[in-house]
Amino acid sequence: MKLAQESPLTSEVLVRVAVDAPLHRFFDYRAPAMLAPGTLVAVPLGRRRTVGVVVASGVAAQIDAARIRPIEQALTDRPVLAPALMDLAAFCARYYHHPMGEVLAAALPPRLRDPKPYRPVRAHVSLTAAGREALARLPARARARRGVLEWLAQHPGATREQLRAALPRAAALLPQLERLGWLARAAAAAAAAPADSTGPPLTPEQAAALPVLEEGLGRFGAYLLHGVTGSGKTEVYLRLLQSALGQGRQGLVLVPEIALTPQFEAGMRARFPGRRVVSLHSGLSEGARAEHWLAAAEADILLGTRSALFAPLPRLGLIVVDEEHDASFKQQEGLRYSARDLAVVRARQAGIPVVLGSATPSLESWQQAERGRYRRLTLEQRAVPGALPPRARLVDLRREPCTGGLAAPVREALQENFHAGRQSLVFINRRGYAPVLYCPGCGYVLPCHRCSARLVWHRSSARLKCHHCGHQEAVPAACPQCGQPDLVLLGQGTQRVEEALAELLPRARIRRIDRDSMAGREWAGFGEAMRAGEIDVLVGTQMLAKGHDFPALSLVVILDADGALYSPDFRAEERLFAQLLQVAGRAGRHGETGHVLLQTAFPQHPLYAEWLAGDYAAFARRQLAERARLGLPPFMHQAVLRAEAPRMENAMRFLARAADAATAPRGVRLLAPAPAGMPRLGGLERAQLLVQAADRAALHRYLESWRPVLETLRPQVARWHLEVDPLFS
């Protein structure tokens, strides 16, 4: 990508530009020449300078020509956003009723949204001839240097970020190795001649599913790959990618979380050693994200989280969405899009297949398959010969005594598993030490004064923290309400469970995995430590529930799952079932029978019976029947108007005015304004107005007419936004 000259420009050619601003309109500017749609330009907007994307060139003036200002600079000499991405952005703007300029800005990595010209960095690093000679003569004791050189010999043209992710301690050695002439920076990763390796033999189920998927290459089709945990969905992805690459096409693989990228990337590089594999996610530095985003155009496989959906892939031939049910695919700020749903749209626009994979599909995708819009393929058996589903049982907390939050059968199982030399996982989806600091004198519970939430005590920092707004404070010497000095910690988080496990298994190597303990680059090392047997017991949150493959893990313990059964959110049971099935699936994946123990006070609940049977279809039938009866998604389409204000009455007043601003037609229903599920967050009161309709088109026609009216209101609120297909209340 070359840069244009930096001198100010004047011209008679008019270009229409979408700017990064909350405005549902385009702006006209003068340019020195015709600029193709998708070109980035720096333009004046009011008193500020911003980045815009050209959407049309040679247009007729819509205002007095004397008022049209010139662009300040063309930032690129060719379009950065190809027509396919412009079409995807246009659909996104229409469907989510979001300004086109903000949609296009969201499609770009942060560095390319800067009005300063982007200077591509040479993020790639290669082994030089001198480096290869040094590798041959380095002594065995030079383990750090050998590790870097050997890794680069196996991964020619890798990026510096990829090297740091694989070898977290390597960063400090790079300048030294470059000075020695053993490493060289490169402008782009060089692709070796394709030499794809072969994978393990296919199971009968995999062998039946793969030809169906391969037959769909070259045309649009949506496939739901429903496979139990450990059934080899990843192997099906890899074989299908190999077929697409053999046709000269590119593959896009989306995963829900950054934590899953090291394992996926390692597997892809091992399977496709001669191919260019590029990763893209927010864990990269801004410079690396821009470099990887641009490098995607020449990549064979792009692996990333939801934002990778907008990367330039001119030869795109296949999209895979792994763990398609995961809520992480829904963006919760700014442009609130679903990467899973947009993956289907991008596949349709490109005329290529999209594969949605999960052991616990979203009920929306399951219903699409039931209606015949998606083709469902099923993998019911585990892929490793002799590997059976884990044996799961419930531990009834009404009858079993607990010590440190662990029931007696759980304690016995953990001890037995440790003494047998096997690995265990203890899952509790709550970080911190204790979720409640309670006064036994008056019953006062310490709240966050900025949110409708309790403060969580973190023993590692000896601070009370809010997990919603980030507020922190010291533990008070006495109850703020009655002065009682003896406050009590109630409940458990990962830190308290870790402490209980250390008391139970004093010789065990215990590792806690949650947002407090893990940094992005530590994930690769953590997986290696598990597979090397350097960890005996894992304790952690939902970070451990998805996609990880630990061969020696044979026991999973699940704590505090009952909380979701109390939730007013109609999706809570769906999330809980998926979480339980996913985390249980970490056990016994490589031959030895796994065991799962779940502590509950409600062993009679139908969800637990379906989970014990591993019967997702029965769970889906029950949930879908209930949602159909109550008129909930996927049988009803929804949008929500949310408002935040310093005072709740202001938010509610704005929503009431909004409800009266445009009459809803027959078939579209507006529910009364109500406080949000968490009424106060970050010091602001939150309220919402739900809009729903059985007919999607009718809902969008109403939203299209309603949104401009909302923009004419002058609310006394801090902010408001309209969200389509909301996942959370």
Distance CA 606, CA 622 (A): 9
Q: Which residues contact 636 (CB under 8 A, 6 or more apart)?
A: 692, 693, 694
* Band (2; pLDDT cuts 50, 70, 90): very low
The overall pTM is greater than 0.85: yes
Task: Give the β-pairing of 684-693 and 668-670.
Answer: antiparallel
Cβ distance 168 to 525 under 8 Å? yes
Distance CA 380, CA 231 (A): 7
Secondary structure (DSSP) of 498-558: HHHHHHH-TTS-EEEESTTT--TTHHHHHHHHHHTT--SEEEESGGGSSS---TTEEEEEE
* Band (728; pLDDT cuts 50, 70, 90): confident
C-alpha pair distances (Å), 53 with each of 37, 81, 82, 98, 248: 7, 8, 11, 16, 30
Cβ distance 312 to 293 under 8 Å? yes
Report the DSSP beta bridge partners of residue 693.
637, 668
* Band (185; pLDDT cuts 50, 70, 90): low
Q: What is the mean pLDDT of residues 559-576?
A: 92
In the predicted structure, residue 524 carries a pLDDT above the cut 60: no
Q: Which residues contact 546 (CB under 8 A, 6 or more apart)?
A: 256, 257, 259, 260, 323, 326, 582
Task: Give whichever of 194-203, 206-215, 380-389 has the largest mean pLDDT.
Answer: 206-215
Chain segment 295-322, per-residue pLDDT in tens: 899 899 999 999 999 999 999 999 999 9
Chain segment 530-542, per-residue pLDDT in tens: 888 899 999 988 8
Average predicted confidence (pLDDT) for the chain: 89
Chain segment 501-512, per-residue pLDDT in tens: 999 999 999 999
Residue 720 is predicted with a pLDDT of 95
Q: 132 or 362: whose pLDDT is higher?
A: 362
Q: 2 or 713: whose pLDDT is higher?
A: 713
Task: Give whichever of 229-233, 266-270, 392-396, 525-529 has the largest mean pLDDT.
Answer: 392-396
Residue 8 is predicted with a pLDDT of 42
In the predicted structure, residue 9 carries a pLDDT above the cut 50: no
Mean pLDDT lowest for which of 64-73, 182-191, 329-338? 182-191
Chain segment 471-507, per-residue pLDDT in tens: 999 999 999 999 999 999 999 999 999 999 999 999 9
Residue 729 is predicted with a pLDDT of 63
* Band (125; pLDDT cuts 50, 70, 90): confident
Residue 523 is predicted with a pLDDT of 53
Mean pLDDT lowest for which of 109-118, 251-260, 330-339, 394-403? 109-118
Secondary structure (DSSP) of 233-261: HHHHHHHHHHHHHHTT-EEEEE-S-GGGH
Chain segment 209-232, per-residue pLDDT in tens: 999 999 999 999 999 999 998 899
DSSP 3-state assignment of 278?
A: strand
The full set of domains in the chain, from first to last, is: 13-113 (3.40.1440.60), 124-186 (no CATH), 204-265+276-379 (3.40.50.300), 391-433+492-624 (3.40.50.300), 637-724 (3.30.70)
Q: What is the mean pLDDT of residues 130-141?
A: 84
Residue 194 is predicted with a pLDDT of 55
Distance CA 279, CA 682 (A): 33
In the predicted structure, residue 584 carries a pLDDT above the cut 50: yes
Report the DSSP beta bridge partners of residue 597.
393, 557
Residue 77 is predicted with a pLDDT of 81
In the predicted structure, residue 682 carries a pLDDT above the cut 60: yes
* Band (1; pLDDT cuts 50, 70, 90): very low
Distance CA 95, CA 89 (A): 10
Cβ distance 693 to 702 under 8 Å? yes
Mean pLDDT lowest for which of 7-11, 14-18, 188-192, 354-358? 7-11
C-alpha pair distances (Å), 263 with each of 259, 407, 526: 8, 34, 11
* Band (121; pLDDT cuts 50, 70, 90): low
Q: In what order do the strands lie in the sheet with 463-465?
A: 456-458, 463-465, 472-473
Chain segment 14-67, per-residue pLDDT in tens: 999 999 999 999 999 999 999 999 999 999 999 899 999 999 998 988 888 888
The residue count of the chain comes to 729
In the predicted structure, residue 688 carries a pLDDT above the cut 70: yes
C-alpha pair distances (Å), 725 with each of 93, 139, 359, 373, 652: 14, 59, 23, 19, 21
Return the structure tokens found at 424: 């265990």
Residue 597 is predicted with a pLDDT of 97
* Band (131; pLDDT cuts 50, 70, 90): confident
Residue 284 is predicted with a pLDDT of 86
Distance CA 406, CA 477 (A): 30
Task: Give the β-pairing of 537-540 and 124-127.
Answer: unpaired
Q: Which residues contact 618 (CB under 8 A, 6 or more apart)?
A: 610
C-alpha pair distances (Å), 721 with each of 267, 640, 701: 41, 8, 18
